Each structure stands twice: as structure tokens, then as C-alpha cells.
Chains A and B, each alone.
Chain A
Amino acid sequence: MIHQKLELPGIERIRTRFLELLRERQVSIAEHALTAWESDELEKINGSLASARTLLHQIAGTAGSLGFEELGQEARTVETEIDDHLNGADADLAICPGALIYHMSDFVQLCQTLTAAQPETAQSA
């Protein structure tokens, strides 16, 4: 899962920081997904999806540079799905597509697998 060729001296420190941040981001994404799924208010649904999308966008922008290519690609895929929904014909309906929630859930699980393999630092614990 981690790109073996990435060897900028000192990059490990940033990779660790990325994983620490990923622990927080995965929780936030899960919370936004749940809110979007359980709410019946249009603003709340779309607002939660937009917030999750911002986090996915940030993960997609850095994961590949740090060797987490699969994570970055998955983040980009889910980000694009949210964009498609928010810019699509159903954007003004108070619904959150089930498929979108499943994909966000899969992404959160991928994050958990990655962060579980990385011991928490004293700072993040």
C-alpha cells in the first residue's frame, strides 16, 4: 500500500504526521456521513457532504506524494462522487444516496486499516 520508491530524506516524519491527522479526519468523515444519512434536511445533508468532500480533497492531494497511492485514489473517487451528487439533478432533494454512504464507509475502513498499522505517537494518543 505504501509506495516503496518514495525516499526523500526525513519524509517519515511528515508521513507520521499525515497518519495522525488521518485518524482525526476519518472520524470527521464518518460523522459527516452519518449526519448526511440520518438527516432529512437538505441543508444539513448537503453541508455534511460538502464538509466530508473538503477532507477527502485534502487527503487526495497529499496521500500520493507520501506513498499512500491507493488511499489517495479512493479519496479522489469518493470526492468525485460527492461532487457529482451535489452538482447533479438530485442536489435540491433532501436525500443522500445509499451508494455514496457505502463508499464513504469503505473509505473510512481503509483509513482505519492504515492507521491501525501505524503505532500512535505519544502526542496523538
Chain B
Amino acid sequence: MKILAVDDDPIILELLAHFIDTLTDHKVVLASCADEAIDVIQANARSPFDCFLLDIQMPGTDGITLAGKIRAMEPYTDTPILMLTAMSEKVYIDAAFTAGATDYVTKPFEMSELKARLSLVERAFDRRKASTGKIFATQAVSPEYNKVTPPINLHEPVAIYDVDNLIDFMALENYIQQLSRNDLFGSTAFAFTIRKIEEFHRTMSPFEFYSVLVDMGEIISDTLGGSQFLMAYAGNGTFICITESGWCPDTRALANSINLTAAKTELFDNQGQRIEPRVCAGEAIKLIWKTSASVMDAISAAHASAESASAAYQKNQNNVWQIGLTA
């Protein structure tokens, strides 16, 4: 990978350069502030970077703002961004992930930990490059773009951009794993699944399907807008949300709000036919007192709960229809 490391401390830059040169096959370019980083990125436009290592607290533009600026650049919408910082407070972690960070390493870092993190990033980067490629969220898309949207695997996470508080699924997993037990106090996980997602996937073009995910992601994000949360699309029509501050949401009421907004939003497929995606909500699961491993189990449980609710809804609909026939 070609990596850009940005930190105002020359010792950190020396350490990173030495570590990467000595222990990995990656190539690293160094910058001592955000402005220099932007210049370096522009100077390397023909040979873009594959990964960024950003310090959070720097004079002038900080690393969180820089992460947002990098994410806004077309070649870097899904390039891994690792935050390297001594600031382990949750408020900075949240801000970093919301701005587009993929993962987070606390300084002073252990070389073995940094190596492991880079390996994870590299594997994810390779997987992504080999599978779906880049999909850009945009409301006004040209017909040419429509033709090149790559196939989307129903069961795999898809990166969705430009939706507030919606981050990459891998970043959400990293975010949860970085939270300490104290940080988890008052956090709750829940999920929404788009009903009949298999049907949408089967009958729609990849672009149409992706547009449904973006639209529903926006509606869910807007509905949760008044609270502090992060969410990600986990695949199979399911959006997983993490909220905090002791708020344990009434997920069914939220699902009703989401569906009401979806009903008021006129959505059409490429043939001009109106489509009506609706969601089912799973149970809200509190993360308090859970260990790192069981937190991930709780996330899986929230995911499964929403999908079960969707399946149960569909089954009830079928039963009603059958009862109607009998009657």
C-alpha cells in the first residue's frame, strides 16, 4: 500500500517511517500538517494513496477535519483512514468515525498493534478492491453511471456515502471494539431491516437497488437525527444503529416514523414505477456490562432481531392472505 502519514510531531513521523520501512512492504509519505497533506495528496493525484494515518490533534486544521476533507475527494471515498492519536476520549472517537475514519489506534502505540491494524486494513482494502469496487452515492446520476454500477451481493455490506452518521460497516465494527466498558455505559444497539429486500434485489438493477439503500439510509438517519448515534449498512437490507446517552429507543415507534416518511417520499424505479420500501425494527439491546466479544454478539443479536421481525411480518402477511382465501 502507498500510505500518507500526517502528524505534527516529527518523532511520530520518524517512528512511522522507520516502522513501515523496516517491517512492512508498504511505502510511506510524510506530512507534518493538514495543509501539507492536502498539497501532497494533490501532487500525488496520478498515483493515489491506499491508506491514511492521521493524528487528531494538530495545529491549524485537525485530523478529524482533514479526514472529512479526504473523504470528500473522489478517489478517497472508501480509502482506509486510521486515526493515530493520544486522545482516547469517546467524543474524539465518535467525531473521527463520523468524519470517515476506518479505525483508531491510541498513542503511544505498540508496534505489534500498529502492524496488526495495518494488516487488517490491507486485507479489507484488498477484499473491497476485488469485489464490488466503488459505488458513489448521488441523487443526480447520469445514465452512463447507472450502467457501470457493479453487482451488489445481497448479503454483504455496501459502502454508502454522504448520509449523516452512516459509516462503513467495518468502521462500525472497529468503533465498537475500541469503546471501553465505561464508554458502553448507556449505549444501545438496534437494527432496521427493509422488508422484501430479496425481491428488490432480484428485480432491480444494481443501481436501483443501491438507490433504495441510500434513500432508506437517509430516512433512517433523518428519523434518528435528534439523538447521538452511528449506523452502518450490514447487508441483507439491514441497517445497524448504535446510540448512547442512556437513550433506549422505542424501535417500533421509530420504524413507524421511518415508514411514514418513506410513504411520503415518492420513490420510483428506472421504469417510473413507484416502489414502496418499508422497514421492520428489531429489539433494542443495551450494551452495558458486556465484554468486547459479547458486545459483538449483541450487535449480531440486534441484526438478527430486525431480520426476524421482517420475516415474521412477511409470514403474517401471507397468513392473512391465506385466511382471506379460506374465508
Number of interface residues of A (CB under 8 A): 21
One digit per residue, 1 when the CB lies within 8 angstroms of any chain A CB and 0 when it does not, for chain B 107-135 equals 11111000000000000000000000000
* Residues on A with beta carbons closer than 8 Å to the beta carbon of B10: 21
- Given A17-B14, A76-B86: A62 and B9 interface contact (C-beta under 8 Å): yes
* Residues on A with beta carbons closer than 8 Å to the beta carbon of B107: 60-62, 64-65
Contact of B108 among A11, A14, A63 (CB under 8 A): A63
Give the residues from 1 to 54 in chain B that come closer than 8 angstroms, CB to CB, to chain A.
8-12, 14-15, 18-19, 22-23
Q: How large is the interface on B (under 10, 10 to 19, 20 to 34, 35 or more residues)?
A: 20 to 34
Measured CB to CB, the closest approach of chain B to A18, in angstroms, equals: 5
A88 within 8 Å of B (CB atoms): no
Contact A62 B57 (CB under 8 A): no
Contact A8 B19 (CB under 8 A): yes
Q: Complex: how many Å from CA A58 to CA B57?
A: 10
A57 within 8 Å of B (CB atoms): yes
Contact of B9 among A8, A11, A58, A64 (CB under 8 A): A58
A contacts with B: majority SS: helix
* Residues on A with beta carbons closer than 8 Å to the beta carbon of B22: 8-10
Q: Complex: how many Å from CA A114 to CA B109?
A: 21
| 26 CB < 8 A contacts A-B | A8-B19, A8-B22, A10-B18, A10-B22, A13-B18, A14-B14, A14-B18, A17-B11, A17-B14, A21-B11, A54-B59, A57-B57, A57-B86, A60-B107, A61-B9, A61-B107, A62-B12, A63-B108, A64-B108, A65-B15, A65-B107, A65-B108, A65-B109, A66-B108, A72-B108, A76-B86
